Amino acid sequence: MNKWQTATLDLPVASFTNRENGYSDMRIVSANKLPLIIASIKLDAVPVNPPVSLWSIQRSL
């Protein structure tokens, strides 16, 4: 407690379509309604099947 912590979450079927109250996309609730301070949130979209690069094609030949 009383330390900054980092958490990484995978959201494989996330859908950001403004469907929460106030047209938001995310709701964060702490356990047992304890005080929660969030310094920042970073979202990265990662393709499910990344495109094949020319280098990987040439290496496999």
- The position carrying tokens 């979209």 is 45
pLDDT for residue 57 is more than 70: no
Report DSSP letters for the chain, one per residue.
--S--------TT---SS-SGGG-S-----GGG--------------SSPPPPHHHHHHH-
pLDDT tens, residue by residue, 8-21: 888 877 778 888 88
Percent with pLDDT over 90 in the chain: 0
Report the mean per-residue pLDDT for the chain.
77
pTM summary value? 0.48
Q: Which band of pLDDT confidence, cut at 50, 70 and 90, is reported for residue 31?
A: confident
Question: Domain boundaries in the chain?
Answer: 1-61
